[in-house]
Structure 1
Amino acid sequence: MKLFNNLNDHTKFHAGIRGDMMMASDSKKTLNYAQAWDYTAVIAAHIQSSGIKKGDRVAILAKNSVDNLCVFLACARIGAVVVGLNYRLAPAEVEFIASNADVQMLFFDKEFDSLRGDYLRATTCICMDSDEAAPQLENWLLSPATLTEVEINGDDILFQMYTSGTTGLPKGVLVNHYNVLANAYQAPMTTGKGSRVGERSLVIAPTFHAVGLVGSLLGVIYGGSMIIHSDYDPVGMIETISKENISVVAVIPVMLQFSLAMVPNIKDYDFSELHTINYGASPISESLLKECMAAFGCDFVQGYGQTESTMALTFLTAEDHKKALAGRPDLLRSCGRAVFGTDIKIVGNEGQDLPLGEIGEIVAKGPQIMQGYWKNPEATAKTVVDGWLHTGDAGRMDEEGYIYIQDRLKDMIISGGENIYPAEIENLLMSHDHIQDVAVIGVPDQKWGEIPLAVLVAGGQPELSAEELTEFCRGKLAGYKIPRKVEYIAALPRNPTGKVLKKDIRVMMEEKYPPIA
C-alpha cells in the first residue's frame, strides 16, 4: 500500500493515536477524532444501505457544520463522490447542477428546502437539522446498518465541485484524493506555515467552495482542531479568534475590513495564539495590511488558485509581505510564486511561451491539477493541454518568479485597439482614501468601441467626480486606461469566495450604457 494513499488514511491514523483530541466543533456538536471516525462509519453504513455505491454522487446543500464535514468524510470512506451545492444559487441553478452531476442522494439544511427542485426531491433526501422536510439525520442513523469496507485509491474521485458559470453553464470539476493530498503537502512546503497537530483553525468560508472545503480537509489531514462557523459574522469572527485561541484563519480582505470597522475596541482582544491569516480572491492594500498587522500581530499569506487546481497554485508568503512593507509595496499586487512541485508560465494566443514581463495567459502544471470536467471532454481538452492548466487569467511574471494577475482574459477591455486590463486600474484606484471598493468594466463607446467605467463604493467617504478621478490617475496610467466615467453603488456583488461578479455589474449598468446600434 502507498503511504497515505487517500484521505481516509489520515483520519484513521489520527483516530488511532490521538483519538481524544478534538477534531471539530460548532455551536451544536463537538467531536474528537475517535468519535468522528466512529460517527462517519455509521453515516457511511447508512448511505450504503440507501443503495449508494462507489462512484455514485451524493450532494450536500447545507451550511458549514460538524455534521456537514462528517457526511463528507463518510462519503470518502465508501468512495461516494460529494457534490457541494451552493445555497446562494437560484433553484433552477441548483437543479441544473444536481441533474448534470447525476446526484442520487441529498443531505440538506431545512432552510434550503425551497431550493430542492423536482430532480432532487426524487432522490433520497436526509435533512440535517429537522424532521419536517425529510427524514432527520439523527433519527435516520438510529436504524441498524453495517458498513462494508471499500478499497479507495488515490486516483478515485473525492469530490465534484462546480465552477461559478461566469463564462457559460457551470462545469463539474473532478478532484481526486491525490489532488487534495498533493495540495495539502504543497502548501506548508511553500509557505513555511505547516499545520500542527492540535492547532486550532477557524473555518468560515463555505465548504461548497474550494477554500472552505480543502481548508477543512487540511485540518483533518494534519490532525488539527477546527472551530466551524456556519456564516461570516464580523464581530463573531474576532471574538472566536480571541476566545477559542485560534492559530490560523482563512478570509478575504473585505472580511478583515468589515471586522475592523465593526470592532472599534479590537485592541482589547487577545490574539496571542494567532500566527497566520490566510487570504485570497483579491490583493490586500498596503494600508489595510498595516492596520491588520497592528491589530492582530500575526503573519499574512495570500493564496491564488481556482477550482481546477484543487486550491492553490501560488502563495505570497509571510516573508513576502514583510518585504512589501520594507520597501517593496509592488509585491502586494502579486499573488506570489508557484507552490512546491508546480510549474507556471505565461503563454500567448498561440500557446507560445512569452518573455518575462509580457502579459499573457497564466498556465500551470502540477499534481494538484483536476482530472477534468464531468461529462465535458471538449471543455477538458481546451482547459488542460498536455498537462498544462489554462487558467483563463491574464498575468505576467517578473524575473524573480512572482506572478501578477492582470485580469480574467474575458474581462479585458479593448479600447481603440488597445488592450486594457481592469485589475491594473483597480489596484491604483484602491490606493485612494475615498474609495473603499472598486470594479472596472468596459462599456460601449461610439468612438473607441469600449471605454473603462469605474464602479466605486465610497464607504462613507465623499464621492469623487469623473474629473477628480481623472486627475488622480493622470501620470500613473496611460491616458487610454483612465476611466472617463464613474458610477457609485452601495456594495460590489461578490460570490462566497469574495470574487467580484462583474457579469452582475454589467447587468446593473446596461440601461445607462446600452449597446451601440
Structure 2
Amino acid sequence: MYLTQGLQRSLQQTPDKIVTIFGARRRTFREFGERVARLAGALRGLGMVPGDRVSMLALNSDRYLEYMQGTWWGGGVLNPVNIRWAVPEIVYSLDDCNTRFLLVDDYFLPMVEGIRAQSRNAPMFIYAGEKSAPQGMLDYETLLAKAEPIEDAGRGGEDIACIMYTGGTTGFPKGVIQTHLNLWSACIQRMAEIHQGAEQRDLHVMPLFHIAGLARVVSGFIAGGSHVIQPTFDAAAVLKAVTEEGVTDAILVPTMILGLLAHPEFDKYNLSSLQRLTYGASPTAGEMIEQVLAKLPHLQLSHSYGLTEACPIVSTNPPENHGPAARKSGLIRSVGRAGLGVNVKIVDEEGVEVPRGTVGEIIVRGPNIMVGYWNKPEETAKALRHGWLFTGDGAYMDEQGYLFIVDRLKDMIVSGGENVYSAEVENIIARHPAVLMCAVIGVPHEQWGEAVHAVVVRKPGVEVAAEDLRSYCREYIAGYKCPKSVEFREALPLTGAGKILKRELREPFWAGKSKAVN
C-alpha cells in the first residue's frame, strides 16, 4: 500500500500508453516514469531525506503529477499549496511543517519574493514553468536533465504521504496528516463502488492542491488510466478537451457544471465519450441534475460527500439513485450511504448515536481517516475521539442508512428559538428556474435574534423579485425558514474548490459585534 505502486505496475505492463495530456504535450508511462525517477534523484541530490516536505504552488499541469509521484518516489511528503491564498497564509503553511522545497510555475512567480522575505526558514525555490528560471531559483527541467534516476524509495503504509492544509477560511490553517494507507484506502474504497479502470481518460480541472483533485489523480494511477489536465476551469476549454481527447470521467463541483450548461456553444460539442460525472462540494439543485440528464441522458451521475480529513470520501450516492424515481422520492438529495470499509454514525453533543431521522453530527471511522493535524495536538484531540472523526457536519440518517446533510453545524441559524439549517433553504431556492446559485446565512435581527438572509445569483437574462422567491419558499418549507430578506449579486465568493465562502457574506452584517451569532 504505497502510492507509487500504480505507476510501477503501468511501467511494467503498459509502458507506451499515454498517461498525461496537457495541451499539446503528451507523455507515455515510460517517459513519465523516467522523469519521476529523475525528479526524485534531483531532490535527493539537493538534500531531501525521507519524510521531508515538498510543496508546489501552481495551476494544474503534467508537472504537478510528476511532482506528486516524484516526491513519493524519493521518499518525501507532499504539501500542496492552496492557490487562492495570500502570501502570509502560504508562508504559515510552509513554516508550520518546515517545508524544504517549493516548486512554482509561471503564474505564481510574483509571489516568490514575498514568500522568501516572510518565511521563517525559506524553502529552496524550484521554477517549474515554461520559460527560463528567474535569478535565485533552480530550474526544474535542468535539474531533471542533470539528475540520475533513482530507485523507488518504497515508502508506504503508515508513512506520511501528504500534509494538506485546510480550514483556512477561519483562523490559522490546519495541516491534515494523511498516510499512504489513508489515501490508498480511500481510493480503493471508492473504486470498489464506482467503476474506474485502465481504459479511462480522467479530466483534471479541480485544483490539485485540493483533496478531491489529488485523490482523483491517485486513483487514476492505481487504475492505470490516462490523465487529461486543464490548468484551471474554463467552460470552453473543458468542452473542447472532452470532445477532442475522448474524456470518459470527470469530477466537478456544481458551479462548474452550471458553467458548462450555460455556455452558449454547449450543443456544438460532442460529449458522447463522457460516461461518468461525479459532483460534490456544495448543495446541489435538483434542477441542475435534470438539466444535465436532459442534455446528456447517457451520463452516469454520482454524488460524493467527504472532507480532507477522510481523504476524502465518506459516502457516495451512486448512478442508480439519479433516475426519475429517486428524483421523485427525494433520495436524490441524499449524499448516499457509508462507503465500503467506512463506518458512519449520527450522534448528539455527548457523542451518543441518535435515532434515525434525527439531526446530529456525522462521525466517521475507517482506514481512510487522517492520523491528526500537524503540530496541533489539541485540535487533533477534538476531532479524533475514541477512534472516530467528528466532522462538524450536521445531518440525519434514514432507515436505509442514507445520509442527508442539513448544514455545517456552525452555519445553523437560530431565529426566534427555532433552528434553521441553511442547506435546506438553499435547496429550495436553488430549484427556482430563475436562480443560478444561492447562499443562505444568518444575519442579526433585533426581534428574532437572527434572521434568514438569502444571497442570490440570477441566471443570465432572467429576472425575479425578492418577494417572488420568498413566496416560492413558502410553498415548500415552514414560514420561519423562509428568507426574511434577499439580495441579488452578480457572483458569490468561492474557495479554490468551488465552495461558497459564507464567512465573507456574513462579515458585513456582523461587523463590530463581539460574536457572530445572536
Paired residue total: 509
Percentage of pairs with the same residue: 34
What runs of 5+ residues in structure 1 fail to find an aligned partner? Answer: none
Identify which of 170, 174, 184 aligns with 2:173: 170
2:42–2:144 CA contact under 8 A, matched in 1: yes
Map Cα deviations across residues 102-155 of structure 1 (whole Å, 9 max, x no partner).
Answer: 111111113212323122883211100131252221122233446365341311
Choose the corresponding residue for 1:132, options 122, 134, 140: 134
**What is the match of residue 58 of structure 1?**
54
- Residue of structure 1 in register with 2:186 after alignment: 183
SS in 1 for 2:290: helix
Instruction: Using the TM superposition, give the Cα deviation of residue 88 of structure 1 relative to its aligned residue in structure 2, in angstroms.
Output: 1.4
**Over aligned residues, Cα RMSD in angstroms?**
2.1
- One-letter identity of the residue aligned with 1:425: V
Task: Give the AA of the match of 1:40.
Answer: V
**Helix, strand or coil at the partner of 1:181:** helix
- Aligned residue type for 1:279: Y
CA, structure 1 residues 468+271, in 2 after alignment: closer, same or farther (shift >3 Å)?
A: closer
Counterpart secondary structure, 1:241: helix
**Contact map agreement 2:283 2:426 (CA 8 A) in 1:** no
> Is the 2:310–2:369 contact (alpha carbons within 8 Å) kept by the matching residues of 1?
yes
Residue 332 of structure 1 aligns to which amino acid in structure 2?
I
**C-alpha distance in structure 2 between counterparts of 1:278 and 1:66, whole Å:** 22
Deviation by residue 1:198-233 (Cα, 9 ceiling, x = unmatched): 321111111100111111111111000111111111
Kept in 2, the 8 Å contact 1:286–1:325? The answer is no
Mapping 1:27-426, distance limit 5 Å: 27=23, 29-116=25-112, 117=115, 118=117, 119=119, 122-129=122-129, 130=131, 131-133=133-135, 134-145=137-148, 147=150, 150-191=153-194, 194-264=195-265, 266-296=266-296, 297-324=298-325, 327-328=328-329, 330-426=330-426
Verify the 8 A CA contact 2:6 2:222 in the aligned structure 1.
Answer: yes
Deviation for aligned residue 1:466: 4.1
Structure 2 CA distance for partners of 1:96 and 1:516, relative to 1, 3 Å: closer
Rate the CA distance shift 1:144–1:34 in 2: closer, same or farther, 3 A.
closer
Contact 1:361 1:393 in 2 (8 A): yes
Distance in 2 (alpha carbons) for counterparts of 1:306 and 1:82: 18
Q: What's the CA shift string for 1:438-462, capped at 9, x where partnerless?
A: 1111111111111111111112355
Match of 1:498 in 2: 498
Distance of 1:359 and 1:158 partners within structure 2:
35
Cα deviation, residue 491, structure 1? 0.8
Write the distance in 2 (CA, Å) between the matches of 1:163 and 1:186: 23
Q: Which moved more, 1:388-397 or 1:427-436?
A: 427-436
Distance 1:188 1:323 in 2: 25
Q: Which residue identity is paired with 2:61?
A: S
SS in 1 for 2:431: coil
CA distance in 2, matches of 1:37, 1:386: 41
Structure 1 SS opposite 2:55 = strand
1:355-388 deviation digits (Å, cap 9, x = unpaired): 0001011111111101110011111111011121
In the alignment, the residues of structure 1 paired with residue 243 and residue 508 of structure 2 have an alpha-carbon distance, to the nearest angstrom, of: 40
AA matched with 1:78 = G
The residue matched to 1:246 in structure 2 has which SS?
coil
What SS class does the counterpart of residue 423 from structure 1 fall into?
helix
| 2:432 aligned partner | 432
Contact 1:283 1:334 in 2 (8 A): no
Q: 1:167 to 1:388 in 2, by over 3 A?
A: farther
Contact 1:98 1:120 in 2 (8 A): no
Separation of aligned partners in 2, 1:461 and 1:410: 35
Q: What is the deviation of 1:260?
A: 1.7
State the AA in 1 paired with 2:184: L
Distance change (3 Å), C-alpha of 1:375 and 1:324:
farther
**Comparing 63-72 and 150-159, the one that deviates more:** 150-159
Distance of 1:454 and 1:114 partners within structure 2? 37
Contact 1:345 1:364 in 2 (8 A): yes
**Aligned amino acid, residue 299 of structure 1:** Q
* Displacement of 1:472: 1.9
Deviation by residue 1:277-315 (Cα, 9 ceiling, x = unmatched) = 111112432322122123233111111100000021111
Instruction: Return the structure number with greater relative CO, CA threshold 8 A, min gap 6.
Output: 2
CA distance in 2, matches of 1:516, 1:343: 33
Which stretch of the first structure deviates more once superposed, 289-298 or 486-495? Answer: 289-298
1:488 pairs with 2:488: yes
1:16 equivalenced with 2:12 (yes/no): yes
Which runs of 5 or more structure 2 residues have no equivalent in the other structure? Answer: none
Q: Which amino acid aligns with 2:486?
A: V
CA distance in 1, matches of 2:327, 2:61: 40
Offset at 1:509?
4.2
Give the SS at the match of 1:379.
Answer: helix
**What is the aligned partner in structure 2 of residue 7 from structure 1?**
3
Counterpart Cα distance in 2 of 1:157 and 1:128? 24
Preserved CA contact (<8 Å) 1:396 1:406: yes
SS at match of 2:193: helix
| Inter-partner Cα distance in structure 2 for 1:309 and 1:409 | 18
Which deviates the most, 430-439 or 312-321?
A: 430-439
Does the CA-based 8 Å contact 2:178-2:370 persist in structure 1?
yes
Q: Give me the whole-angstrom Cα distance separating, in 1, the residues matched to 2:347 and 2:317.
A: 22
